[in-house]
Copies of this chain bind each other. A is one copy, B any other.
Amino acid sequence: MSELDQFDLKILRELAADGRLSGRELAERIGLSLTPTVRRVRRLEEEQYIQGYGAQLNEQQLVGSISVFVSVTLEKQSESVIARFEGTVTKCPEVMSCFLMSGDADYNLRVVVKDLESYHHFLTRTLTRIPGVAHIKSSFALKTVLIRPAPLL
């Protein structure tokens, strides 16, 4: 996997800000002609620096305005419990992110719901029903200060 030069970084910055830029426009912005620009983009895609392109949807407007950070502790960290837990939360549309944490070997989820009732529903119908879940702690966000769709280069 080759190193990235200044042109590559410019390409990534431009495409992160506008994923629908045409080759011509992109070439103009980074100051390179069309052919090498397109070639570089292909390489960045192949080497997975660019994983895909997507519309940025309004999370609040579409799914709800409440973000809840949920800390989940499992009773035991057996393979099957872990696999089932991760598989289940990945399928839940409410779950926007999930990390396995150090320390007590628990999970940190961010769940987005439209109101407290929906959250309660998610908690009782989904989360607590996953086998091996020992403890759940919920922390509510009052305000979203920042969510970056892509890392800043």
Q: Is A139's CB under 8 angstroms from B56's CB?
A: no
- Nearest chain B CB to A114's CB is how many angstroms away? 11
| Size of A's binding interface in residues, CB under 8 A | 56
Q: Is A74 an interface residue (CB 8 A)?
A: no
Q: Is B55's CB under 8 angstroms from A12's CB?
A: yes
Q: Is B102's CB under 8 angstroms from A141's CB?
A: yes
- Nearest chain B CB to A140's CB is how many angstroms away? 5
Interface residues of A (CB under 8 A from B): 12, 15-20, 48-59, 61-63, 67, 69, 86, 89-90, 93, 95-103, 105, 107-108, 112, 139-153
Q: Is B141's CB under 8 angstroms from A19's CB?
A: no
Picked from B18, B51, B102, B107, the residue with its CB within 8 Å of the CB of A56 is B51
